[in-house]
Amino acid sequence: MSPRRNRPRRDETAHLDSERVRQGVASVQQWRDGDWQVRGISGGASVKTYRCPGCDQEIRPGVAHVVAWPADGRGDLTDRRHWHSGCWRARDRRSPVVQRGRSAPRHG
């Protein structure tokens, strides 16, 4: 009789590749303005500064946030927007705050 194993066996199919772990898993969310692909970004995976379209404030590197883009498949990488998680959840309750001039860059 073999000794009892208290450790669960590792299932090779359950492992996620490092890119998927870093980027998170996208899900489709339905909002009044349409369906959106939304992916949570962990603080460790966030390496650039972005500007949140919900509050017009910076999302600094190391801050967990979400990335959203239209789910209709017609957009490209330029349609992705980085949002503070709270701003994304509150987007139906408030309008975007844009305080920059037209010549300023759209997103950080």
pTM: 0.64
Q: Which residues of 58-77 are buried (b: 16+ CB within 10 A; e: fewer)?
A: ebeeebebbbbbebeeeeee
Burial status of residue 88 (CB atoms within 10 A of its CB: 0-12, 13-18, 19 or more) = buried
State pLDDT tens for residues 2-60.
666 666 655 544 455 555 545 566 789 988 888 999 999 998 998 999 999 999 999 99
* Other Cβ atoms within 10 Å of 79 Cβ, number: 12
Report in angstroms the alpha-carbon separations of 68 from 7, 62, 73, 74, 84.
Answer: 38, 18, 12, 14, 11
Single-letter code of the amino acid located at 57:
Q
State pLDDT tens for residues 61-77.
999 999 999 998 777 78
State pLDDT tens for residues 47-62.
999 999 999 999 999 9
